[in-house]
Structure 1
Amino acid sequence: MKIKVLMDNLPAVNYLNEWGLSIYIEYEDKKILLDTGASEGFSNNAKVAGVDLSKVDVAVLSHAHYDHSDGMGAFFEENQKASMLLRSSCKENCYSQKEEGMEYIGIHKGWLEKFKSRIKYVDGIYEICKGVTLVPHLFDMTEPGKKAKMFTMENDLFFPELFAHEQSLVFETEKGLVIFNSCSHGGADNIINEVQKQYNDAPIYAIIGGFHLYKTSPEEVEAFAKRVEATGIQRVITGHCTGDEAYPILQKVLGDKVSQMYSGAEYSI
Protein backbone atom coordinates (compact mmCIF):
# COMPACT_ATOMS: atom_id res chain seq x y z
CA MET A 1 0.00 0.00 0.00
CA LYS A 2 1.52 3.31 -1.12
CA ILE A 3 0.33 6.72 0.06
CA LYS A 4 1.17 10.18 -1.29
CA VAL A 5 -0.09 13.39 0.32
CA LEU A 6 -1.04 15.67 -2.57
CA MET A 7 -2.15 18.59 -0.41
CA ASP A 8 -1.75 19.61 3.21
CA ASN A 9 -1.26 22.81 5.22
CA LEU A 10 2.49 22.22 5.38
CA PRO A 11 4.65 22.16 2.22
CA ALA A 12 7.79 20.43 1.06
CA VAL A 13 10.22 21.87 -1.50
CA ASN A 14 8.48 22.31 -4.90
CA TYR A 15 5.03 21.56 -3.43
CA LEU A 16 2.12 23.93 -2.86
CA ASN A 17 0.31 24.07 0.45
CA GLU A 18 -3.09 25.37 1.60
CA TRP A 19 -5.73 24.81 4.26
CA GLY A 20 -6.93 21.60 2.67
CA LEU A 21 -6.22 17.92 2.25
CA SER A 22 -5.87 15.46 -0.63
CA ILE A 23 -4.33 11.99 -0.47
CA TYR A 24 -3.52 9.50 -3.25
CA ILE A 25 -3.50 5.80 -2.37
CA GLU A 26 -2.39 2.73 -4.32
CA TYR A 27 -3.81 -0.52 -2.92
CA GLU A 28 -3.40 -3.81 -4.75
CA ASP A 29 -4.35 -2.89 -8.33
CA LYS A 30 -6.55 0.10 -7.36
CA LYS A 31 -5.69 3.79 -7.46
CA ILE A 32 -7.84 5.84 -5.06
CA LEU A 33 -8.03 9.59 -4.46
CA LEU A 34 -9.27 10.86 -1.09
CA ASP A 35 -10.40 14.49 -1.30
CA THR A 36 -9.26 17.27 -3.63
CA GLY A 37 -8.13 20.04 -1.31
CA ALA A 38 -9.39 23.63 -1.45
CA SER A 39 -8.26 24.39 -5.02
CA GLU A 40 -6.63 22.91 -8.12
CA GLY A 41 -3.32 23.01 -6.19
CA PHE A 42 -3.50 19.29 -5.43
CA SER A 43 -3.40 18.64 -9.19
CA ASN A 44 -0.18 20.66 -9.53
CA ASN A 45 1.33 18.71 -6.64
CA ALA A 46 0.25 15.43 -8.23
CA LYS A 47 2.39 16.23 -11.25
CA VAL A 48 5.39 16.96 -9.02
CA ALA A 49 4.79 13.66 -7.19
CA GLY A 50 4.54 11.69 -10.44
CA VAL A 51 0.85 10.87 -9.91
CA ASP A 52 -1.30 10.63 -13.04
CA LEU A 53 -4.77 11.66 -11.89
CA SER A 54 -6.29 10.39 -15.15
CA LYS A 55 -5.47 6.85 -13.96
CA VAL A 56 -7.38 7.12 -10.67
CA ASP A 57 -10.03 4.36 -10.46
CA VAL A 58 -12.25 5.90 -7.81
CA ALA A 59 -12.38 9.11 -5.77
CA VAL A 60 -13.80 9.56 -2.28
CA LEU A 61 -15.03 12.74 -0.61
CA SER A 62 -14.48 12.42 3.13
CA HIS A 63 -17.07 15.09 3.97
CA ALA A 64 -18.87 18.06 2.47
CA HIS A 65 -16.50 20.92 3.34
CA TYR A 66 -14.80 23.23 0.83
CA ASP A 67 -11.23 22.46 1.94
CA HIS A 68 -11.71 18.87 0.80
CA SER A 69 -13.98 19.39 -2.21
CA ASP A 70 -13.07 22.64 -4.01
CA GLY A 71 -10.59 20.84 -6.27
CA MET A 72 -13.38 18.56 -7.50
CA GLY A 73 -13.73 20.36 -10.83
CA ALA A 74 -10.01 20.10 -11.54
CA PHE A 75 -10.11 16.36 -10.85
CA PHE A 76 -13.02 15.75 -13.19
CA GLU A 77 -11.22 17.70 -15.91
CA GLU A 78 -8.15 15.47 -15.64
CA ASN A 79 -9.95 12.20 -15.03
CA GLN A 80 -12.75 11.14 -17.38
CA LYS A 81 -13.68 7.79 -15.82
CA ALA A 82 -13.68 7.76 -12.01
CA SER A 83 -16.78 8.30 -9.91
CA MET A 84 -16.54 10.28 -6.68
CA LEU A 85 -18.22 8.58 -3.74
CA LEU A 86 -20.19 10.84 -1.39
CA ARG A 87 -22.49 10.08 1.51
CA SER A 88 -26.11 10.29 0.40
CA SER A 89 -26.57 13.02 3.03
CA CYS A 90 -24.05 15.32 1.30
CA LYS A 91 -25.63 18.66 0.42
CA GLU A 92 -24.45 22.21 -0.19
CA ASN A 93 -25.54 23.31 3.27
CA CYS A 94 -22.57 23.44 5.68
CA TYR A 95 -21.83 26.56 7.75
CA SER A 96 -19.47 27.68 10.49
CA GLN A 97 -20.45 30.19 13.16
CA LYS A 98 -18.09 33.17 13.25
CA GLU A 99 -18.22 36.39 15.30
CA GLU A 100 -19.59 38.22 12.26
CA GLY A 101 -22.22 35.56 11.55
CA MET A 102 -22.62 32.29 9.67
CA GLU A 103 -19.98 31.54 7.03
CA TYR A 104 -20.61 29.03 4.24
CA ILE A 105 -17.95 26.27 4.32
CA GLY A 106 -19.60 23.64 2.11
CA ILE A 107 -19.18 22.18 -1.35
CA HIS A 108 -18.99 24.85 -4.05
CA LYS A 109 -22.57 25.98 -4.73
CA GLY A 110 -24.03 24.28 -7.80
CA TRP A 111 -21.35 21.60 -8.13
CA LEU A 112 -23.49 18.68 -6.96
CA GLU A 113 -25.79 19.38 -9.90
CA LYS A 114 -22.99 20.27 -12.33
CA PHE A 115 -21.07 17.07 -11.69
CA LYS A 116 -24.00 14.75 -10.92
CA SER A 117 -23.00 12.33 -13.70
CA ARG A 118 -19.65 11.79 -11.94
CA ILE A 119 -20.97 11.56 -8.39
CA LYS A 120 -22.13 8.33 -6.74
CA TYR A 121 -23.99 8.54 -3.45
CA VAL A 122 -23.53 5.74 -0.91
CA ASP A 123 -25.35 4.66 2.22
CA GLY A 124 -24.33 2.65 5.25
CA ILE A 125 -21.16 0.58 5.22
CA TYR A 126 -20.08 0.45 1.58
CA GLU A 127 -17.48 -1.86 0.04
CA ILE A 128 -15.54 -0.13 -2.77
CA CYS A 129 -13.62 -3.28 -3.63
CA LYS A 130 -12.19 -6.27 -1.77
CA GLY A 131 -10.34 -4.93 1.26
CA VAL A 132 -11.53 -1.31 0.93
CA THR A 133 -14.63 -0.03 2.72
CA LEU A 134 -16.37 3.24 3.55
CA VAL A 135 -17.71 3.49 7.10
CA PRO A 136 -20.08 6.31 8.21
CA HIS A 137 -20.24 7.67 11.74
CA LEU A 138 -22.31 5.33 13.86
CA PHE A 139 -22.31 7.34 17.08
CA ASP A 140 -24.09 10.55 18.10
CA MET A 141 -22.26 13.57 16.65
CA THR A 142 -24.41 16.29 18.24
CA GLU A 143 -21.84 17.40 20.83
CA PRO A 144 -18.88 17.48 18.38
CA GLY A 145 -20.97 19.65 16.07
CA LYS A 146 -21.84 22.10 18.84
CA LYS A 147 -18.24 22.24 20.07
CA ALA A 148 -16.95 22.99 16.56
CA LYS A 149 -19.67 25.64 16.10
CA MET A 150 -20.68 24.06 12.81
CA PHE A 151 -24.20 23.93 11.42
CA THR A 152 -26.24 22.72 8.47
CA MET A 153 -29.04 24.69 6.89
CA GLU A 154 -32.41 23.07 6.25
CA ASN A 155 -35.39 25.11 5.03
CA ASP A 156 -33.57 28.36 5.90
CA LEU A 157 -33.01 27.23 9.49
CA PHE A 158 -29.67 26.33 11.09
CA PHE A 159 -29.22 23.05 12.98
CA PRO A 160 -26.15 21.74 14.84
CA GLU A 161 -23.92 19.74 12.52
CA LEU A 162 -24.30 15.96 12.89
CA PHE A 163 -21.61 15.11 10.31
CA ALA A 164 -23.85 12.57 8.60
CA HIS A 165 -21.89 13.45 5.43
CA GLU A 166 -18.54 12.34 6.94
CA GLN A 167 -17.05 8.91 6.32
CA SER A 168 -13.92 6.89 7.04
CA LEU A 169 -12.01 5.07 4.31
CA VAL A 170 -10.75 1.75 5.67
CA PHE A 171 -8.18 -0.61 4.16
CA GLU A 172 -7.38 -4.17 5.20
CA THR A 173 -3.63 -4.85 5.30
CA GLU A 174 -1.38 -7.60 6.64
CA LYS A 175 -0.43 -5.33 9.55
CA GLY A 176 -4.05 -4.56 10.42
CA LEU A 177 -6.70 -2.04 9.44
CA VAL A 178 -5.65 1.37 8.15
CA ILE A 179 -8.19 4.18 8.65
CA PHE A 180 -8.29 7.45 6.71
CA ASN A 181 -10.54 10.16 8.13
CA SER A 182 -9.67 13.60 6.83
CA CYS A 183 -10.89 15.71 9.78
CA SER A 184 -12.08 13.20 12.41
CA HIS A 185 -14.68 15.65 13.72
CA GLY A 186 -16.07 13.04 16.10
CA GLY A 187 -12.66 12.32 17.63
CA ALA A 188 -10.06 9.97 16.18
CA ASP A 189 -10.27 7.79 19.29
CA ASN A 190 -14.02 7.32 18.79
CA ILE A 191 -13.51 6.62 15.09
CA ILE A 192 -10.88 3.97 15.81
CA ASN A 193 -13.25 2.29 18.25
CA GLU A 194 -16.26 2.41 15.90
CA VAL A 195 -14.27 0.95 12.99
CA GLN A 196 -12.84 -1.78 15.19
CA LYS A 197 -16.35 -2.68 16.31
CA GLN A 198 -17.53 -2.96 12.70
CA TYR A 199 -14.62 -5.30 11.97
CA ASN A 200 -15.29 -7.57 14.96
CA ASP A 201 -12.38 -6.23 17.02
CA ALA A 202 -9.79 -6.66 14.28
CA PRO A 203 -6.50 -4.91 15.10
CA ILE A 204 -6.12 -1.31 13.91
CA TYR A 205 -2.62 -0.61 12.59
CA ALA A 206 -2.88 3.07 11.62
CA ILE A 207 -5.05 6.14 11.38
CA ILE A 208 -4.22 8.85 8.84
CA GLY A 209 -5.78 12.31 8.57
CA GLY A 210 -6.57 15.52 10.40
CA PHE A 211 -7.81 15.45 14.00
CA HIS A 212 -9.49 18.90 14.22
CA LEU A 213 -7.56 19.94 17.33
CA TYR A 214 -6.44 23.39 16.22
CA LYS A 215 -8.89 25.13 18.57
CA THR A 216 -8.47 22.65 21.43
CA SER A 217 -6.78 23.38 24.78
CA PRO A 218 -3.46 21.65 25.58
CA GLU A 219 -5.13 19.73 28.42
CA GLU A 220 -7.82 18.38 26.10
CA VAL A 221 -5.26 17.47 23.44
CA GLU A 222 -3.21 15.51 25.96
CA ALA A 223 -6.30 13.66 27.23
CA PHE A 224 -7.25 12.90 23.62
CA ALA A 225 -3.75 11.58 22.86
CA LYS A 226 -3.94 9.25 25.86
CA ARG A 227 -7.26 7.89 24.60
CA VAL A 228 -5.73 7.24 21.18
CA GLU A 229 -2.78 5.52 22.86
CA ALA A 230 -5.22 3.34 24.81
CA THR A 231 -6.72 1.96 21.58
CA GLY A 232 -3.45 0.11 20.95
CA ILE A 233 -2.94 1.71 17.55
CA GLN A 234 0.61 1.42 16.23
CA ARG A 235 0.89 4.31 13.79
CA VAL A 236 -0.63 7.80 13.60
CA ILE A 237 -0.05 10.12 10.62
CA THR A 238 -1.70 13.49 11.06
CA GLY A 239 -1.82 17.05 9.75
CA HIS A 240 -4.24 19.56 8.21
CA CYS A 241 -6.70 20.60 10.95
CA THR A 242 -4.76 18.95 13.78
CA GLY A 243 -2.88 22.21 14.28
CA ASP A 244 0.71 23.22 14.92
CA GLU A 245 0.16 23.62 18.66
CA ALA A 246 -1.40 20.17 19.10
CA TYR A 247 1.27 18.16 17.30
CA PRO A 248 4.03 18.48 19.95
CA ILE A 249 1.56 17.34 22.60
CA LEU A 250 0.60 14.31 20.51
CA GLN A 251 4.30 13.57 20.07
CA LYS A 252 4.88 13.83 23.81
CA VAL A 253 2.23 11.15 24.49
CA LEU A 254 2.50 8.96 21.39
CA GLY A 255 6.24 9.25 20.76
CA ASP A 256 7.50 7.59 17.60
CA LYS A 257 4.01 6.32 16.78
CA VAL A 258 3.01 9.74 15.45
CA SER A 259 4.37 11.56 12.40
CA GLN A 260 3.58 14.91 10.75
CA MET A 261 1.85 14.98 7.38
CA TYR A 262 2.81 17.54 4.71
CA SER A 263 2.33 18.15 0.99
CA GLY A 264 4.59 15.72 -0.83
CA ALA A 265 4.92 13.22 2.03
CA GLU A 266 5.04 9.55 1.00
CA TYR A 267 4.39 6.45 3.08
CA SER A 268 4.36 2.67 2.55
CA ILE A 269 2.37 0.16 4.57
Structure 2
Amino acid sequence: MKITILIENNKDDARDLINEHGLSLYIEKDDTRILFDTGKSDNFIKNAEKLGINLKDVDLVVLSHGHTDHGGGLLAFLKINSKAKIYMKRKVQEKYFTGFLLFKKNISISRNIFEKHSNRIEYVDSFTEIVKDIFIITDINKHYKIPDGNKYLFVKDGNRLVKDSFDHELIMVIKENEAICMFTGCSHNGTVNMIESVNSFFPHAHIRALIGGFHLVKIPAIDAIGPSKEEIDLLVDKIISKNINEVYTGHCTGEKSYKKLKYFLGDKIQYMKTGTQIQI
Protein backbone atom coordinates (compact mmCIF):
# COMPACT_ATOMS: atom_id res chain seq x y z
CA MET A 1 0.00 0.00 0.00
CA LYS A 2 1.31 3.43 -0.98
CA ILE A 3 0.16 6.65 0.67
CA THR A 4 0.87 10.17 -0.62
CA ILE A 5 0.11 13.24 1.48
CA LEU A 6 -1.55 15.66 -0.95
CA ILE A 7 -2.22 18.38 1.63
CA GLU A 8 -0.96 19.07 5.15
CA ASN A 9 -0.15 22.23 7.09
CA ASN A 10 3.55 21.97 6.19
CA LYS A 11 5.47 20.88 3.12
CA ASP A 12 8.79 19.39 2.18
CA ASP A 13 10.86 22.43 1.20
CA ALA A 14 12.48 20.41 -1.58
CA ARG A 15 9.14 20.12 -3.41
CA ASP A 16 7.25 22.77 -5.40
CA LEU A 17 3.94 22.09 -3.68
CA ILE A 18 1.23 24.08 -1.88
CA ASN A 19 0.53 23.58 1.79
CA GLU A 20 -2.55 24.69 3.74
CA HIS A 21 -4.23 24.00 7.07
CA GLY A 22 -5.97 20.76 6.20
CA LEU A 23 -5.43 17.12 5.33
CA SER A 24 -5.77 14.95 2.22
CA LEU A 25 -4.27 11.51 1.64
CA TYR A 26 -4.12 9.59 -1.64
CA ILE A 27 -3.90 5.82 -1.12
CA GLU A 28 -3.18 3.04 -3.60
CA LYS A 29 -4.27 -0.34 -2.26
CA ASP A 30 -3.90 -3.13 -4.84
CA ASP A 31 -6.11 -1.93 -7.74
CA THR A 32 -8.16 0.49 -5.63
CA ARG A 33 -7.42 4.22 -5.46
CA ILE A 34 -8.70 6.01 -2.38
CA LEU A 35 -8.89 9.64 -1.34
CA PHE A 36 -9.09 10.17 2.42
CA ASP A 37 -10.23 13.77 2.96
CA THR A 38 -9.78 16.65 0.51
CA GLY A 39 -8.21 19.55 2.39
CA LYS A 40 -10.04 22.88 2.45
CA SER A 41 -9.61 23.95 -1.20
CA ASP A 42 -8.59 22.65 -4.63
CA ASN A 43 -4.90 22.87 -3.70
CA PHE A 44 -4.70 19.10 -3.18
CA ILE A 45 -5.66 18.69 -6.84
CA LYS A 46 -2.86 21.02 -7.95
CA ASN A 47 -0.39 19.08 -5.81
CA ALA A 48 -1.60 15.76 -7.22
CA GLU A 49 -0.91 17.01 -10.75
CA LYS A 50 2.64 18.02 -9.77
CA LEU A 51 3.16 14.60 -8.19
CA GLY A 52 1.93 12.78 -11.30
CA ILE A 53 -1.26 11.51 -9.65
CA ASN A 54 -4.40 11.47 -11.79
CA LEU A 55 -7.36 12.02 -9.46
CA LYS A 56 -9.77 11.12 -12.27
CA ASP A 57 -8.80 7.52 -11.48
CA VAL A 58 -9.83 7.68 -7.82
CA ASP A 59 -12.39 4.95 -7.08
CA LEU A 60 -13.71 6.15 -3.72
CA VAL A 61 -13.47 9.03 -1.28
CA VAL A 62 -13.82 8.78 2.49
CA LEU A 63 -14.55 11.92 4.51
CA SER A 64 -13.37 11.61 8.10
CA HIS A 65 -15.74 14.28 9.44
CA GLY A 66 -17.70 17.39 8.53
CA HIS A 67 -15.14 20.19 8.85
CA THR A 68 -14.10 22.25 5.85
CA ASP A 69 -10.34 21.66 6.32
CA HIS A 70 -11.06 18.00 5.51
CA GLY A 71 -13.91 18.32 3.02
CA GLY A 72 -13.62 21.81 1.54
CA GLY A 73 -11.96 20.51 -1.63
CA LEU A 74 -14.65 17.93 -2.35
CA LEU A 75 -16.67 20.13 -4.72
CA ALA A 76 -13.58 20.77 -6.87
CA PHE A 77 -12.84 17.02 -6.88
CA LEU A 78 -16.35 16.18 -8.10
CA LYS A 79 -15.78 18.42 -11.13
CA ILE A 80 -12.79 16.36 -12.30
CA ASN A 81 -13.84 12.88 -11.18
CA SER A 82 -17.07 11.38 -12.49
CA LYS A 83 -17.02 7.92 -10.93
CA ALA A 84 -15.90 7.90 -7.28
CA LYS A 85 -18.47 7.30 -4.54
CA ILE A 86 -18.13 9.54 -1.49
CA TYR A 87 -18.44 7.75 1.86
CA MET A 88 -19.31 9.73 4.97
CA LYS A 89 -21.47 9.71 8.06
CA ARG A 90 -24.91 11.24 7.65
CA LYS A 91 -24.26 14.06 10.13
CA VAL A 92 -21.42 15.44 8.00
CA GLN A 93 -24.07 17.58 6.29
CA GLU A 94 -24.89 19.54 9.46
CA LYS A 95 -23.55 23.04 10.18
CA TYR A 96 -20.34 23.29 12.20
CA PHE A 97 -18.57 26.27 13.75
CA THR A 98 -15.41 27.15 15.62
CA GLY A 99 -14.64 30.15 17.77
CA PHE A 100 -14.20 31.92 21.09
CA LEU A 101 -16.81 33.79 23.12
CA LEU A 102 -19.08 35.72 20.69
CA PHE A 103 -16.96 35.15 17.57
CA LYS A 104 -17.92 32.01 15.65
CA LYS A 105 -16.66 30.95 12.22
CA ASN A 106 -18.58 28.59 9.94
CA ILE A 107 -16.45 25.52 9.12
CA SER A 108 -19.18 23.46 7.43
CA ILE A 109 -18.81 21.66 4.14
CA SER A 110 -20.53 23.34 1.16
CA ARG A 111 -24.26 22.62 0.90
CA ASN A 112 -23.85 22.28 -2.88
CA ILE A 113 -22.33 18.84 -2.35
CA PHE A 114 -25.44 17.49 -0.65
CA GLU A 115 -27.91 19.30 -2.91
CA LYS A 116 -26.31 18.78 -6.33
CA HIS A 117 -24.27 15.60 -5.88
CA SER A 118 -26.44 13.42 -3.64
CA ASN A 119 -26.19 10.59 -6.19
CA ARG A 120 -22.45 10.36 -5.48
CA ILE A 121 -22.81 10.10 -1.69
CA GLU A 122 -23.00 6.87 0.30
CA TYR A 123 -23.94 7.50 3.92
CA VAL A 124 -22.44 4.99 6.33
CA ASP A 125 -24.29 4.55 9.62
CA SER A 126 -22.68 1.40 10.98
CA PHE A 127 -19.57 -0.73 10.69
CA THR A 128 -19.22 -1.44 6.96
CA GLU A 129 -16.79 -3.04 4.54
CA ILE A 130 -17.23 -0.54 1.70
CA VAL A 131 -15.03 -2.52 -0.71
CA LYS A 132 -12.88 -5.58 -0.13
CA ASP A 133 -10.54 -5.08 2.86
CA ILE A 134 -11.52 -1.41 3.34
CA PHE A 135 -13.73 -0.74 6.36
CA ILE A 136 -15.51 2.20 7.97
CA ILE A 137 -15.98 2.30 11.75
CA THR A 138 -18.76 4.68 12.79
CA ASP A 139 -19.16 3.85 16.48
CA ILE A 140 -16.28 5.26 18.52
CA ASN A 141 -16.22 4.54 22.24
CA LYS A 142 -15.27 7.31 24.66
CA HIS A 143 -13.74 5.48 27.59
CA TYR A 144 -10.91 8.00 27.73
CA LYS A 145 -10.83 11.79 27.80
CA ILE A 146 -11.49 13.60 24.50
CA PRO A 147 -9.18 16.44 23.34
CA ASP A 148 -9.40 19.78 25.15
CA GLY A 149 -9.43 21.63 21.81
CA ASN A 150 -12.96 20.33 21.19
CA LYS A 151 -14.35 23.00 23.54
CA TYR A 152 -13.97 25.53 20.72
CA LEU A 153 -16.02 23.51 18.23
CA PHE A 154 -19.80 23.66 17.85
CA VAL A 155 -22.72 22.33 15.84
CA LYS A 156 -25.93 24.20 15.02
CA ASP A 157 -28.99 22.86 16.81
CA GLY A 158 -32.02 24.81 15.63
CA ASN A 159 -31.20 28.48 16.24
CA ARG A 160 -28.41 27.90 18.73
CA LEU A 161 -24.90 26.54 18.78
CA VAL A 162 -24.08 23.64 21.10
CA LYS A 163 -20.87 21.76 21.83
CA ASP A 164 -20.06 19.31 19.06
CA SER A 165 -20.32 15.65 20.11
CA PHE A 166 -18.37 14.56 16.99
CA ASP A 167 -20.77 11.82 16.01
CA HIS A 168 -20.00 12.87 12.41
CA GLU A 169 -16.47 11.44 12.73
CA LEU A 170 -15.42 8.01 11.46
CA ILE A 171 -12.33 5.80 11.24
CA MET A 172 -11.13 4.12 8.05
CA VAL A 173 -9.37 0.76 8.35
CA ILE A 174 -7.50 -0.99 5.55
CA LYS A 175 -6.57 -4.64 5.91
CA GLU A 176 -3.20 -5.75 4.56
CA ASN A 177 -2.62 -9.50 4.86
CA GLU A 178 -3.25 -10.25 8.57
CA ALA A 179 -2.49 -6.70 9.77
CA ILE A 180 -4.54 -3.50 9.58
CA CYS A 181 -3.82 0.20 9.11
CA MET A 182 -6.11 2.76 10.73
CA PHE A 183 -6.71 6.28 9.43
CA THR A 184 -7.95 9.23 11.49
CA GLY A 185 -8.75 12.69 10.18
CA CYS A 186 -8.51 14.75 13.37
CA SER A 187 -9.24 12.28 16.20
CA HIS A 188 -11.80 14.60 17.77
CA ASN A 189 -13.06 11.57 19.68
CA GLY A 190 -9.56 11.01 21.06
CA THR A 191 -6.83 8.93 19.43
CA VAL A 192 -6.72 6.45 22.32
CA ASN A 193 -10.49 5.96 22.06
CA MET A 194 -10.13 5.39 18.32
CA ILE A 195 -7.39 2.80 18.80
CA GLU A 196 -9.59 1.00 21.33
CA SER A 197 -12.56 1.13 18.94
CA VAL A 198 -10.52 -0.38 16.11
CA ASN A 199 -9.32 -3.10 18.46
CA SER A 200 -12.91 -3.92 19.46
CA PHE A 201 -13.93 -4.47 15.82
CA PHE A 202 -10.70 -6.28 14.93
CA PRO A 203 -9.79 -8.06 18.20
CA HIS A 204 -7.38 -10.51 16.57
CA ALA A 205 -5.74 -8.19 14.05
CA HIS A 206 -2.47 -6.40 14.64
CA ILE A 207 -2.60 -2.62 14.09
CA ARG A 208 0.50 -2.14 11.97
CA ALA A 209 0.11 1.58 11.26
CA LEU A 210 -1.73 4.58 12.72
CA ILE A 211 -2.07 7.46 10.25
CA GLY A 212 -3.70 10.88 10.70
CA GLY A 213 -4.14 13.89 12.94
CA PHE A 214 -4.41 13.52 16.72
CA HIS A 215 -5.97 16.90 17.67
CA LEU A 216 -3.48 17.61 20.44
CA VAL A 217 -3.43 21.41 19.97
CA LYS A 218 -5.51 22.79 22.84
CA ILE A 219 -6.41 26.11 21.19
CA PRO A 220 -6.98 26.12 17.40
CA ALA A 221 -4.08 27.70 15.44
CA ILE A 222 -2.02 28.23 18.62
CA ASP A 223 0.50 25.41 18.54
CA ALA A 224 2.41 26.64 21.59
CA ILE A 225 -0.32 25.36 23.91
CA GLY A 226 -0.11 21.59 23.73
CA PRO A 227 -1.56 18.67 25.67
CA SER A 228 -0.82 17.65 29.24
CA LYS A 229 1.87 15.15 30.16
CA GLU A 230 -0.90 12.70 31.07
CA GLU A 231 -2.40 12.87 27.56
CA ILE A 232 0.97 12.28 25.92
CA ASP A 233 1.81 9.44 28.31
CA LEU A 234 -1.54 7.74 27.70
CA LEU A 235 -1.17 7.90 23.92
CA VAL A 236 2.44 6.70 24.02
CA ASP A 237 1.51 3.82 26.35
CA LYS A 238 -1.37 2.80 24.09
CA ILE A 239 0.79 2.80 20.95
CA ILE A 240 3.48 0.76 22.67
CA SER A 241 1.10 -1.68 24.42
CA LYS A 242 -0.76 -2.35 21.16
CA ASN A 243 2.58 -2.86 19.42
CA ILE A 244 1.71 -0.38 16.66
CA ASN A 245 4.77 -0.48 14.41
CA GLU A 246 4.41 2.77 12.48
CA VAL A 247 2.81 6.12 13.33
CA TYR A 248 2.44 8.93 10.79
CA THR A 249 0.90 12.16 12.02
CA GLY A 250 0.60 15.89 11.41
CA HIS A 251 -2.05 18.58 10.83
CA CYS A 252 -3.95 19.03 14.14
CA THR A 253 -1.42 17.07 16.20
CA GLY A 254 0.74 20.17 16.41
CA GLU A 255 4.50 20.34 16.06
CA LYS A 256 5.05 20.81 19.80
CA SER A 257 3.03 17.67 20.57
CA TYR A 258 4.81 15.80 17.80
CA LYS A 259 8.19 16.56 19.36
CA LYS A 260 6.98 15.14 22.68
CA LEU A 261 5.71 11.99 20.98
CA LYS A 262 8.94 11.69 19.01
CA TYR A 263 10.97 11.80 22.22
CA PHE A 264 9.22 8.67 23.50
CA LEU A 265 8.47 6.82 20.26
CA GLY A 266 11.67 7.54 18.31
CA ASP A 267 11.77 6.02 14.84
CA LYS A 268 8.30 4.54 15.33
CA ILE A 269 6.71 7.94 14.58
CA GLN A 270 7.18 10.25 11.58
CA TYR A 271 5.74 13.66 10.67
CA MET A 272 3.81 13.62 7.41
CA LYS A 273 4.12 16.78 5.34
CA THR A 274 2.60 17.77 2.01
CA GLY A 275 4.37 15.58 -0.54
CA THR A 276 5.41 12.84 1.90
CA GLN A 277 5.14 9.34 0.45
CA ILE A 278 4.68 6.32 2.70
CA GLN A 279 5.06 2.68 1.72
CA ILE A 280 3.39 0.13 4.01
Match of 1:203 in 2: 206
Match of 1:235 among 246, 249, 265: 246
1:128 counterpart letter in structure 2: I
Verify: 1:111 aligned to 2:113, yes or no: yes
Q: Which residue of 2 aligns with 1:94?
A: 96
Alignment of 1:1-269 (within 5 A): 1-12=1-12, 13-140=15-142, 144=146, 148-149=150-151, 150-174=153-177, 176-215=179-218, 216-223=226-233, 224-269=235-280
How many Å separate the matches in 2 of 1:175 and 1:11? 33
In 2, Cα distance between equivalents of 1:108 and 1:98: 23
Structure 1 residues 110 and 79 mapped into 2: Cα distance closer, same or farther (>3 Å)?
Answer: closer
Aligned-residue RMSD, C-alpha: 1.9
- Residue type of the alignment partner of 1:117: N
C-alpha distance in 2 between matches for 1:200 and 1:186: 20
Determine the C-alpha separation between the residues in 1 that align with 2:67 and 2:54.
Answer: 25
1:169–1:181 contact (8 Å) kept in structure 2: yes
For residues 142 and 191 of structure 1, do their structure 2 counterparts lie closer, same or farther at Cα, with a shift above 3 Å needed?
closer
- Looking at structure 1, the residues matched to 102 and 56 of structure 2 have their Cα atoms a distance apart, in angstroms, of 41
Relative distance call for 1:249 and 1:104 in structure 2 (3 A) is same
State the Cα deviation string for residues 199-254 of structure 1 (Å, max 9, x = none).
Answer: 12321111100001122335245323333323221110001111111111000111
Verify the 8 A CA contact 2:137 2:172 in the aligned structure 1: yes
SS at match of 1:245: helix
Tell me the SS of whatever aligns to 2:229.
helix
Report the alpha carbon displacement of residue 98 of structure 1 after superposing the two structures with TM. 1.5
Residue 221 of structure 1 contacts residue 249 of structure 1 at CA under 8 Å; is this kept in 2?
A: no
Q: 2: CA distance between counterparts of 1:147 and 1:262? A: 22
Q: Work out the CA distance in 1 between the residues paired with 2:42 and 2:192.
A: 32
One-letter code of the match for 1:114? Answer: K
Q: Is the 8 A contact 2:89 2:170 kept in 1?
A: yes
CA separation in 1, counterparts of 2:214 and 2:147?
Answer: 14
1:109-142 CA-partner distances (Å, limit 9, x unpaired): 4432132222221110111111110111332499
Cα distance in 2, alignment partners of residues 169 and 3 from structure 1: 14
Aligned to 2:223: none
Deviations 1:150-199 (A, max 9, x none): 22112112232121111111011136110011111122222111101101
Shift in CA distance, 142/229, structure 1 to aligned 2, threshold 3 Å: closer
- Return the alpha-carbon distance in structure 2 between the equivalents of residues 89 and 208 of structure 1: 23
Q: Which amino acid letter does the alignment assign opposite residue 259 of structure 1?
A: Q
Q: Secondary structure at the match of 1:148?
A: helix
Contact 2:144 2:193 in 1 (8 A): no
Q: Please tell me the residue identity of whatever aligns with 2:259.
A: P
Structure 2 unmatched ranges of 5 or more: 219-225
Please list every run of 5 or more consecutive structure 1 residues that lacks an aligned counterpart in the other structure.
none
